Amino acid sequence: MRKMLIFLPVLLLIFAGCDKNSTESAQSVPAIIPAPLSLTPGKGHFRFTTRTRIIIPAGDNEARLAAGLLASLAGNPSGAVPEIIEGEKAARGSVFMAYDPQITNAEGYVLDISSKQIKISAGTAAGLFYAVQSLRQLMPPEVEKDQMVEGFAVKVPACVIRDEPAFSYRGMHLDVGRHMFPVAEIKKYIDILALHKMNTFHWHLTEDQGWRIEIKKYPRLTEVGAFRNETVIGHAGRPPLKYDGTRYGGFYTQEEVKEVVAYAKERFITVIPEIEMPGHALAALAAYPELSCTGGPFEVATKWGVHQEIFCAGKEETFTFLQDILTEVFALFPGTYVHIGGDEAPKARWEKCRLCQKRIKDEGLADEHELQSYFIQRIEKFLLANGKKLIGWDEILEGGLAPEATVMSWRGIKGGIAAAKEKHDVIMTPNSHVYLDYYQAEPAGEPLAIGGYLPLEKVYSFNPLPAELTPEEQKHILGVQGNVWTEYISTPEHMEYMAFPRAFAIAETGWTPDRLKDFEDFLARLEVQKKRYDALSINYFKGEYRNTRAAATK
C-alpha cells in the first residue's frame, strides 16, 4: 500500500521561492531525519543575530548541554555565539527552553519556531536535546563547520514540530574486536548517532581476534589478548587462505573508556559494553588458557569465523575471572545493561570435558545447551546483584532463557518473537535487515564484504513489530539496532561507508511510527541532508540506494 508523502512535497510547495536568500543561509526545505511525528509549516524565518540568547531553566546542567550544542552551531559560521542565560522569561528574539509536564514521553518535545522567537518544550533534558537536533537539521550545513563565513546569518524556517519516538531503544553497534578504531572516530560515530536521535551505542569490545578493554586485574588480557600475529587476507570462507604476516592490535584504556562514556552521556547516549561469553573468547583464552576445557596453548585468532575454544563451564575459576572482569566493567559503564554475548558457542569442547560433564550431572542439566543456560543464568544473578540487567544474542534462548534476560534477535526475528511470547524484552537487530557489514549494492562494484545484500531500501523497510505478536507481546519489543561487524572493515572511512546512510534508515525505523514511514520521502530528505554530512566529513555511501534485485524480480 502506498503511504502518504507527508513531509517533503507539501513543504517544497510552501517554501519554494519564499526567501530569495535562502540558499545562502537557511535550509530552504525542512528535511529532518528521522521524520518527526508532525510538522506544521509557519510563515517566514527565525534569524540568529548577535543579540540572540538561549534561555534555560535555572541551575539545569542537562538543559545547558542542549543549549550549548545550539549555541556552538549558531556561532560557527556567524561568529556570534548566542549567550546562554538561566531562569529568565521568554523574550523576543530568543530561544526559550522549558520543561512541560504535559509532554509525558521521556524523549518527546515541541519545537515552535516563529519569526520572533523559538520555543522548545520537553518533559526531560533528552527531549530538549532532540529538539535541538531537529533545529540543527533545519539550519544550513555551514553550521557544522568551525569556520566563519563573512556576513553569514543563520536562519531557520518557521514551523511547529511535535515529536516523540516510536521506540525507547534506538541503537547502533560497533565491533572493535576484529578491527579497532581511534577514540576520535568512536566519538564521531556517537555524534552521528546523536544527530539522528539514537540513544544507545553497543560497544562490542571482546572477540576471538582481539580483547580491546583494559582490565586491571588481568593485564594479560591486553598484553597478550589485544594483539594477533597476522590477519587473513580476502574472504575467510574462500580457501586457500593467505595471511598478511603483520601483527595487529591495540586496546582502549580505562581512561579512554571513561572518556567515551562521558562523551556519549553528554549526547544522551548510553553505552552498552559487550563482553563475550562463553564463546568468541579465544583472545582471552590465549592470555589465560587455564580457563579453557583443554588448557591450551592458544593464539589470538588470525582468521574470521566461529572458533571451537570457549570458556570452560565446569571450572569455578571461569566464573571468578568473568565476575572480576564484570566488576571493573560495571565501574566504567553506568548504564543498566551489560551485553554478555552468548552467540556462536560451539559445544564440542564441553562434550569432551570432564569438568563440564560433571557440572551437567551435578546440576541435573539435560545437555550442553542447558549448560550454556546455567552459565548465562549464573552470570545474570551476578549482574542483578550489582543492579545491572543482562542482554544476550538470541542463542541464549537455547536451553532456557535467564529469568530477566533481554534478547537481541539477530538470526532473523524469530528469536525475538519467541522471547516476547515468553514476556522477555527484545531488541530487534535481524541480519535479514540491519547487518551493515552486508553488501549495500551489487557486490561486483563494492569493496569485499562478508556477504548478503542489504540496500538502503531493504534496511528502511524493516518494521520491528512482528504481526505475529499480540499488542501486549509487542510491548516487549524495546526497539531496533543496526550492527557493524568489522571482519572486512579495517579503516574509519570504510566503516562510515558501510554504516551510513543505512544507519539513518535504522534511526528512522526506531523513531518514526511505521505508518508514517515512506522511502521516497526519506530519499528526498537524505538528498537535502547530504550537504550536512559532507560538512561533517562523513564518508557515506553514494551509490544505488534502491533494491534493484526486488525491481528485477517484479
Residue whose entry in the numeric block shows the C-alpha cell 547487518: 435
What does the buried/exposed string (b/e) look like for 223-240 if buried means 16 or more CB atoms within 10 Å of the residue's CB? ebbbbbeebbeeebeeee
Query: Shortest Cβ distance from residue 192 to ligand ACM (Å)?
Result: 22
- Which cell is 402 given? 535467564
Q: Taking CB under 5 A as the rule, does residue 312 contact Zn ion?
A: yes
Residue 314 contact partner, candidates Zn ion, ligand ACM, none, CB within 5 to 8 A by sort of partner: Zn ion
Closest CB to ligand ACM among residues 139, 401: 401
Task: Report yes or no: 464 and 409 within 8 Å, Cβ to Cβ.
Answer: no
Residue 344 contact partner, candidates Zn ion, ligand ACM, none, CB within 5 to 8 A by sort of partner: ligand ACM
User: Which residues touch 65 (CB under 8 Å, ≥6 apart)?
Assistant: 125, 129, 266, 267, 268
Query: Shortest Cβ distance from residue 279 to ligand ACM (Å)?
Result: 9
Query: Shortest Cβ distance from residue 483 to ligand ACM (Å)?
Result: 7
Query: Shortest Cβ distance from residue 378 to Zn ion (Å)?
Result: 14
Task: Report residue 161: phi and psi, to 5°.
Answer: -115, 125
x/- letters, 270..299, toward Zn ion (CB under 5 A): -----------------------x------
DSSP state of 227: E
Query: Shortest Cβ distance from residue 209 to Zn ion (Å)?
Result: 22
Residue 10 contact partner, candidates Zn ion, ligand ACM, none, CB within 5 to 8 A by sort of partner: none
Query: Shortest Cβ distance from residue 357 to Zn ion (Å)?
Result: 8
Query: Shortest Cβ distance from residue 373 to ligand ACM (Å)?
Result: 18
Q: Taking CB under 5 A as the rule, does residue 226 contact Zn ion?
A: no
Closest CB to ligand ACM among residues 343, 404: 343
Task: Report yes or no: 280 and 311 within 8 Å, Cβ to Cβ.
Answer: no
Residue whose entry in the numeric block shows the C-alpha cell 540568547: 53
Looking at 82, 273, 279, 314, which residue binds Zn ion (CB under 5 A)?
A: 314
User: Which residues touch 98 (CB under 8 Å, ≥6 apart)?
Assistant: 57, 90, 119, 120, 121
Query: Taking phi first (over 0 means left), then psi (-120 to 50 degrees means alpha), and beta for anything else, what does residue 280 get?
Result: left
Residue whose entry in the numeric block shows the C-alpha cell 551493515: 436
Closest CB to ligand ACM among residues 224, 379: 379
Closest CB to ligand ACM among residues 434, 528: 434
* Helical segments of 277-433, H only: 282-287, 316-332, 348-352, 354-362, 368-385, 414-421
User: Percentages helix, strand, coil for the chain, rounded to the nearest 5?
Assistant: 35, 20, 45
Closest CA to 489 of 455, 454, 448, 439: 448
Closest CA to 359 of 343, 347, 345, 375: 375
In the complex, the residues that contact ligand ACM under the rule CB under 6 A are 343-344, 393, 410
User: Whole-angstrom Cα distance, residue 294 to residue 458?
Assistant: 44
Closest CB to Zn ion among residues 278, 341: 278
Query: Shortest Cβ distance from residue 170 to ligand ACM (Å)?
Result: 19
Task: Report yes or no: 340 and 406 within 8 Å, Cβ to Cβ.
Answer: no
Query: Shortest Cβ distance from residue 272 to ligand ACM (Å)?
Result: 14
Residue 356 contact partner, candidates ligand ACM, Zn ion, none, CB within 5 to 8 A by sort of partner: Zn ion
x/- letters, 354..373, toward Zn ion (CB under 5 A): -xx-----------------
43-51, 105-113, 314-322, 515-523 -> range binding Zn ion (CB under 5 A): 314-322
Residue 353 contact partner, candidates Zn ion, ligand ACM, none, CB within 5 to 8 A by sort of partner: Zn ion
User: Whole-angstrom Cα distance, residue 430 to residue 423?
Assistant: 19
Query: Shortest Cβ distance from residue 514 to ligand ACM (Å)?
Result: 25
Residue 312 contact partner, candidates ligand ACM, Zn ion, none, CB within 5 to 8 A by sort of partner: Zn ion
Residues between 334 and 353 that touch Zn ion (CB under 5 A): 353
Residue 410 contact partner, candidates ligand ACM, Zn ion, none, CB within 5 to 8 A by sort of partner: ligand ACM
> In Å, how far are 49, 137, 343, 425, 432 from 132, measured between CA atoms?
17, 9, 38, 30, 33
DSSP state of 472: H
Residue 83 contact partner, candidates Zn ion, ligand ACM, none, CB within 5 to 8 A by sort of partner: none
Residue 523 contact partner, candidates ligand ACM, Zn ion, none, CB within 5 to 8 A by sort of partner: none
Query: Shortest Cβ distance from residue 31 to ligand ACM (Å)?
Result: 33
Answer whether the bond into residue 455 is a cis peptide, omega within 30°: no
Closest CB to Zn ion among residues 38, 294: 294
DSSP state of 132: H
- Which cell is 191 given? 555524534
Residue 393 contact partner, candidates ligand ACM, Zn ion, none, CB within 5 to 8 A by sort of partner: ligand ACM
Closest CB to Zn ion among residues 357, 432: 357
**Amino acid in position 392:** G
Return residues touching Zn ion (CB under 5 A).
293, 312, 314, 353, 355-356
